[in-house]
Structure 1
């Protein structure tokens, strides 16, 4: 595949989508580490449920321990670092196999797939499922990331589906 073909464009598009997800992860991790207190405040408010509806019957679910807030926040940061490393490593593997036979290129997708799945776990399961459904995040006017996470998940899910398809021969 040394000339400009549709397969060549598709392979480069897959590489680009994974690389963009990895760069996004780098920016998220950088933000979480350099502005720890602001992002920690967000996590603390969600877990404490202190900005949800008044007289909320679900407030018994709240976690009010600052120590647990820090531990949960560091767990999220660890998952984000793992997602970022996997996506960047996956992008590198795809780059190395851009001109390889179809089977080799397909096998080079594994780190990228793992990275995107971890990203989906963080932003869909941790933030939307647990944050929204358990900690009632969507009722907070100040500390609500539903729209943001939906956009991130839409991108990652689209990238994952496109990446996994065997249309790059």
Structure 2
């Protein structure tokens, strides 16, 4: 039984594998244009820069990342999917992704978070075995400048605790 605690967007925005993380581990979509290690390096560079969102970060631990995937639509970044090992790094990961997007698209093209740094809507699921999973969705990152609107449909982050999934 899955318990949906908070929902803001239509479920049709999400990938078919929900919340079955095992179906996407180490797989690449045909739309994926870069390999996982180069993506990890990009995120490292993105969030370790000082004065990005007032945050000076340390290292992004590549061994904590199980899966990365970029998806493009009409040559524009459409989604970023990740399966991440530990939830304790969630806030760093949010900052990292936002910083990375800003480094690629320019600060004016990315909507800023609120005073508390919140940009994500959070879905909590509990699977049939009672194990918690989380789906984090940075949604509708967009801004209008002149007669143009810049939008990333969503940034999809999937994460789970390995020990919880194994029942340890």
TM-score, scaled to structure 2: 0.32
Task: Give the number of the structure with larger relative contact order, counting CA–CA contacts within 8 Å between residues 6 or more apart.
Answer: 1
TM-score, scaled to structure 1: 0.32
Larger Rg: 1
